[in-house]
Structure 1
Amino acid sequence: MRTQRLFMLMCLLLWATTHLYAYEERNLLQKAADLEKVKSALVMDQKWVSYPDYSDRAGWDQFLGEYKDDYIRKGEAFLNYEWKVVKATDYLEFGRSGDRDIMQNPFNKNNSAIGALFMAEMAEGKGRFIDQIINGVFASCEMTTWALSAHLGLQEIGGCFPNYKEHVIDLGSGNLASQLSWIYYFLKPSFDKVNPLISDRLRHELQVRILDTYMNEDHFWWMAFHLKPGGLVNNWNPWCNFNVLQCFFLLENDRDKLAKAVYRTMTSVDHFINYTHQDGACEEGPSYWGHAAGKMYDYLQMLYDGTGGKISVFDQPIVKNMGEYIARSYVGNGWVVNFADASAKGGGDADLIFRYGKATGSPVMMSYAAYLKSLSAKKAVPGGDPFRLFQTLLYRKEMDGVDAGYKVPVYSWYPETEFCYMTNKKGFFVATKGGYNNESHNHNDAGTFSLYLNTTPIIIDAGVGTYTRQTFSPERYTIWTMQSNYHNLPMINGVPQQFGSQYKAEDVRFDPKRMSFSADLAAAYPEDAHVSRWVRSYKLDQNALKIGDSFTLKKAEKPNQVNFLTWGKVDISVPGAVTIEVNNEKVRLAYDKNTFEPAIETVKLVDPRLSNVWGEEIYRVSLNAKKQPLSGSYTYTITTIK
């Protein structure tokens, strides 16, 4: 059992993790307040809650504004909802086939129904939805675990089947627990009118599953209490700690106990901030920003509110840097720079970004948020977890009048994370990276790039498919999306990059005056690539992107292959030129026809997580070297075609 548990934990951590450069023991939260200061600063008995009481009907009418009827209608759709049963075999399916959704789909449907019914009752306030909310609460309390099957490796016993003898705090259990804590806070009197045992049962389950478990257990990897040098801390840390903090603030009214719990979350979240580079980039990509830096902001805001503003690190530069990353990674028209497991589509939650920007005093974030908001002609009904939903309602009018004239920076350079974005006046946006091949949600992609023309992706990063057991296991790099040969990188002597912290870009440089980026990729390849030096460079001119490869090999065994991933219409019929046309944007990639023989592979996208972004297929253009010298250089130039 011990071996099985270790295996599952390694799966969750993308097998093994060693972070070379990031961790810096700043401990900003612990420096902001020790345990005694936390104890004295606490706002007790939920007096920090700034939303109307359930009985304040006028207050809720004003708070919800024009959205009141929308929430009621959404809740009405669940008045006759049949609560789903998550079967034993649904949990077992993850171990059998790797399918997570068999268990997660019914679980998530129940949780969404609870959320919709809760907001409908808060909007209407007549008790019409109470019985169904009670049904949902009771169904949840009867479950052995609130954790997801894919995360039950966190159990001491391991596996993917819930153990009734222990509780797990993961993303699933934390999300549900925080929602149920808000329901307990607002609706306990209504439940008690029906039967006091309902709220008693809910309070008990929250105590044993979350409050007691958090204080008595320290083996969950995301807590980082036993973090070893080089250990990974990713979005799980602020996300889980934020959910836990909500539960404590909403449920615990003993000052001593609450202070110890709050301080414990502070020491844990400090590890996440310590792990993040000072430049603030999210190595997990824009898709994860809302769960990483975004959840850290939620945590910090909750901490601020629950201590009357006496504990805050919003003035720290790294916190602002972490926020502004999401704005700087936006290309335009819904496209973002995507490395690792991130999707190429997104942009972020405008309301969350605005609140984060307001808290840190970032005009960049506030302007970007207003810009995102301006793109939608229709006002969307605020949704999401209760905290974000309530915060959006609370701040919804403050964005009015904020300048929405966000402009993509000429360049953005993250010297520690080694991300670099460059633009020119011809509509080129080039995103490059150095890094190493054991980043969080890693792909073997040190030195890769993406190219956008007038916000349209031309040379792309495919992203990642639907998560399965294989995605977070030793089999991860058998998946094509994770491999360097399906990124915009060379195969050296027929060998792709390797997974592991030692496989990295070196001598990474950016020159803003020349608008050039370069990195030596030799160390990103294993020994059997026989490469001593491979400097990949990108130079963005006024009219072209020039890409260079300068190399020295120890042996020449197989011809080099240089790959470019793209979509749209691709033509390699003219020697020395690859033409790519996407959405009326057309470029030519010029290469030496005497050096390379081109080939094209069609990659069918059957996974909806990929096809929803790129369509039914993408293409890998391979330039295959006709000869294999021990040293030399290649040049590729990308220009627009009118």
Structure 2
Amino acid sequence: MLFGFLIQAQAYTEKNLLQKHTDLKSLEKVLIMNQKWVPYPTYEDRAGWDKFLGDYKELYIKQGEKKLNYQWKVIKATDYIEYERSGSRNIMENPFDDNNKAIATLVMAELAEGKGRFIDQIINGVFHSCEMTSWALSAHLGAQRSGRSLPSNKEHIIELTSGDLGSLLSWTYYFFNKEFDKVNPIISERLHSELQKRILDTYMNEDRFWWMAFNWKQGDMINNWNPWCNFNVLQCYFLLENDREKLAKAVFRTIISVDKFLNYTNSDGACEEGPSYWGHAAGKLFDYLQMLYDGTGGKVSIFKEPMIKNMGEYISRSYVGNGWVVNFADASAKGGGLASTIFRYGKAVGSEEMMHFAAYLNSLTDSKKGLESDISFGRDIFRGLQTILYHKELLKETPSHTNAPYTWYPETQFCYMNNKSGLFFAAKGGYNNESHNHNDVGTFSLYLNTIPMFIDAGVGTYTRQTFSSERYSIWAMQSNYHNLPMINGVPQKFGSKYKATDVLFNSKTRTFSADIANAYPQEADAKSWVRSYTLDKEKLKITDTFALKNAKQNSRINFLTWGKVDISVSGKILVEVQGQKVALLYDKKVFTPSIETIKLDDSRLSNVWGQEIFRISLIAKNLKIKGTYKYEIVKQ
């Protein structure tokens, strides 16, 4: 069957799924007040916690004991300023993250033991946090009106980490405010006051934060920040606000905002940010929807919407095997969602595929290691508690994962195909202003027996340059370091108008094709450049059919790979990775091959690929205004 997609990829559709299920008046009536929705024991219910934690109990206590003498780290003014000076984020983020993880660890240890042994250190962490000018990261403080990276005491902003800490401290208040009062009532008063000012009031009084999308206009991006931040705000309100009218207004405000994210997201469910962002995008959306479901007694739910299921199953469809995933944009080639999140999501939307896949991921570690890794959830206490809540069900699920013969996302323009000989292929159309964008319209990845052979490198450690006007000076973001042509010596360009056209997928012939000429700027002089991929039994056929206005430079066709590469045999390039072998076949009369070694001095890349990867270039021997180039990648 032939599938086509000819409209703008980033179309915003007024679906408003949540608002179609409820309005403010209806919502107010179904809200469960005074935290009666919380599915966990109260702090005082020791038998309840013993039963709830089970085998986890001692693990949490042992983790907490490591933090009994934790020295709370000071984030200096110069740590914030360093972001402007050098672009470094870690100098500020690392100690801040250590503090937040320590709070979460101590909270869980006290819930597990219940003897008050960890209360003083929790108080230290709480008070230390309350004394901070801001809970936001230096990299995100540009949302301040000053636009600078040093926090101002004149305003509060809600972003990813301030929201995370806000929700963590809201749970801390919920569980321990009475215990704090036994020490000194000022502790709970101060904590509630800070949460009120920094999160609750700020959310209701501000609409300028881009992720809220209240002032959205065509061309603006809405990504994982929206469900992530709204979920944190929703937690804070459900845990702290006990006035029904105020709570209803706040919850409905989050509904309006999250609907903007759902409107922006394609109904096919693909995550344009890639699998390693699924947990922050679709995964956080699910957490938000779960909290909304719990806080309304199941009266407000869109889990039966096909789009929500599609968004969930993207993570299982993008899994190649042995930890490798299909990665585009800033996503890593390894990793994806947590098994517990995938299982919970799958159960909510009725996806056997997701539940079996979650069990499969969970089965890759033995039970002891599984427990220890599950409790290392960082500052996200909600997911930690939910992991425990669903763990026994997850263990009963049958582990399995089978790649579908093909998966086609017509709106997002992602295409996956695989065959019985072990080849798994992925390609994309799209446009060059996707969230976490790389200029990569038309690129592909190819795997053999789950091992990536032709790759997308991913992204290095985030710095100021990563999300600035300097972004496309970084090699990994450029099309000439993806599996794509340089046309007349010109790479693709950033911007929504640089996109694929005439994107087609034929399931019978196993062919994906797209005209990628419009992804290149005017100086490339490209009238058309149709890149097509056909997956056969033992090989991948790649064809470039092109027409240029002028032929100013010899065409250069780039391929990125790793492992061992041998270009010594004319017409045949051998690639061997972890015992898997393929040959890239080309017409030796048409092309001259070259190879460039790319040294990886960034740990975020080298942890995946090792110390180096390679760019293979096929350089056309003759200038051509129009013609067809053909290449094949064949199993060896």
Query: Normalising to structure 1: TM-score of the pair?
Result: 0.96
| 1:170 alignment counterpart | 159
Output aligned runs, 1:227-238, within 5 Å.
227-238=216-227
1:50 aligns with 2:50: no
1:569 aligns with 2:564: yes
Output aligned runs, 1:202-601, within 5 Å.
202-377=191-366, 378-381=369-372, 382-383=374-375, 384=377, 385-601=380-596
The Cα shift of 1:184 comes to 0.2
Output aligned runs, 1:192-203, within 5 Å.
192-203=181-192
| 1:14 alignment counterpart | none
Output aligned runs, 1:606-621, within 5 Å.
606-621=601-616
Task: Tell me, in whole angstroms, the C-alpha distance in 2 between the residues paired with 1:101 and 1:246.
Answer: 27
Task: Tell me, in whole angstroms, the C-alpha distance in 2 between the residues paired with 1:524 and 1:199.
Answer: 55
The Cα shift of 1:156 comes to 1.8
Contact map agreement 1:19 1:439 (CA 8 A) in 2: no
The Cα shift of 1:324 comes to 0.3
The 10-residue stretch of structure 1 (257-266 or 397-406) with the greater mean CA deviation from structure 2 = 397-406
The Cα shift of 1:367 comes to 1.1
The Cα shift of 1:313 comes to 0.5
Query: Normalising to structure 2: TM-score of the pair?
Result: 0.97
Contact map agreement 2:283 2:337 (CA 8 A) in 1: no
The Cα shift of 1:601 comes to 0.2
Contact map agreement 1:20 1:230 (CA 8 A) in 2: no
For 1:266-287, what per-residue CA distance to the aligned partner results, in whole angstroms no more than 9, with x for missing partners? 0000000110001000000000
Task: Tell me, in whole angstroms, the C-alpha distance in 2 between the residues paired with 1:272 and 1:282.
Answer: 12
Contact map agreement 2:56 2:371 (CA 8 A) in 1: no
1:354 partner amino acid: F
| 2:170 alignment counterpart | 181
1:445 partner amino acid: D
In structure 2, the gaps of 5 or more residues are: 1-6
Task: Tell me, in whole angstroms, the C-alpha distance in 2 between the residues paired with 1:441 and 1:326.
Answer: 17
**Secondary structure of 2:34 counterpart:** coil
Contact map agreement 2:551 2:624 (CA 8 A) in 1: yes
The Cα shift of 1:292 comes to 0.2
Task: Tell me, in whole angstroms, the C-alpha distance in 1 between the residues paired with 2:68 and 2:10.
Answer: 53
Task: Tell me, in whole angstroms, the C-alpha distance in 2 between the residues paired with 1:320 and 1:85.
Answer: 43
The Cα shift of 1:20 comes to 5.0
Contact map agreement 1:19 1:232 (CA 8 A) in 2: no
The 10-residue stretch of structure 1 (379-388 or 280-289) with the greater mean CA deviation from structure 2 = 379-388
The Cα shift of 1:230 comes to 2.2
2:351 partner amino acid: S
1:115 aligns with 2:120: no
1:605 aligns with 2:600: yes
Task: Tell me, in whole angstroms, the C-alpha distance in 1 between the residues paired with 2:526 and 2:77.
Answer: 51
Contact map agreement 2:422 2:449 (CA 8 A) in 1: yes
1:629 aligns with 2:620: no
For 1:593-624, what per-residue CA distance to the aligned partner results, in whole angstroms no more than 9, with x for missing partners? 01000000000000000000000000000001
Task: Tell me, in whole angstroms, the C-alpha distance in 1 between the residues paired with 2:282 and 2:338.
Answer: 12
2:149 aligns with one of 140, 160, 169: 160
| 2:83 alignment counterpart | 94
The Cα shift of 1:401 comes to 2.9
Contact map agreement 1:589 1:639 (CA 8 A) in 2: yes
In structure 1, the gaps of 5 or more residues are: 1-17
Task: Tell me, in whole angstroms, the C-alpha distance in 2 between the residues paired with 1:187 and 1:293.
Answer: 31
User: How many percent of aligned residue pairs carry the same amino acid?
Assistant: 67
Task: Tell me, in whole angstroms, the C-alpha distance in 2 between the residues paired with 1:112 and 1:183.
Answer: 13
**Secondary structure of 1:299 counterpart:** helix
1:355 partner amino acid: R
Contact map agreement 2:9 2:411 (CA 8 A) in 1: no
2:115 aligns with one of 126, 143, 149: 126
Task: Tell me, in whole angstroms, the C-alpha distance in 2 between the residues paired with 1:578 and 1:534.
Answer: 24
**Secondary structure of 1:533 counterpart:** strand
1:573 partner amino acid: S
Contact map agreement 1:19 1:230 (CA 8 A) in 2: no
**Secondary structure of 2:257 counterpart:** helix
Task: Tell me, in whole angstroms, the C-alpha distance in 2 between the residues paired with 1:136 and 1:400.
Answer: 35
After superposition, the CA RMSD in angstroms is 1.0
The Cα shift of 1:19 comes to 7.7
2:490 partner amino acid: V
Contact map agreement 1:19 1:438 (CA 8 A) in 2: no
For 1:522-564, what per-residue CA distance to the aligned partner results, in whole angstroms no more than 9, with x for missing partners? 1011111111110000000111110010111110111000000
1:147 aligns with 2:127: no
The Cα shift of 1:640 comes to 1.0
For 1:336-371, what per-residue CA distance to the aligned partner results, in whole angstroms no more than 9, with x for missing partners? 000000000014201100000000011111111111
Contact map agreement 1:19 1:501 (CA 8 A) in 2: no
Task: Tell me, in whole angstroms, the C-alpha distance in 2 between the residues paired with 1:19 and 1:119.
Answer: 47
Contact map agreement 1:20 1:501 (CA 8 A) in 2: no
Task: Tell me, in whole angstroms, the C-alpha distance in 2 between the residues paired with 1:534 and 1:19.
Answer: 18
For 1:144-194, what per-residue CA distance to the aligned partner results, in whole angstroms no more than 9, with x for missing partners? 000000001111221111010000100110000100000000001110000
**Secondary structure of 1:399 counterpart:** helix
Task: Tell me, in whole angstroms, the C-alpha distance in 2 between the residues paired with 1:394 and 1:380.
Answer: 13
1:508 partner amino acid: V
Contact map agreement 1:181 1:206 (CA 8 A) in 2: yes
Contact map agreement 1:19 1:231 (CA 8 A) in 2: no
2:33 partner amino acid: M
**Secondary structure of 1:556 counterpart:** coil
The Cα shift of 1:403 comes to 2.2
Task: Tell me, in whole angstroms, the C-alpha distance in 2 between the residues paired with 1:31 and 1:346.
Answer: 35
Output aligned runs, 1:33-72, within 5 Å.
33-72=22-61
Contact map agreement 2:9 2:430 (CA 8 A) in 1: no
| 1:5 alignment counterpart | none
**Secondary structure of 2:102 counterpart:** helix
The structure 1 segments of at least 4 consecutive aligned residues displaced by more than 6 Å after TM superposition are none
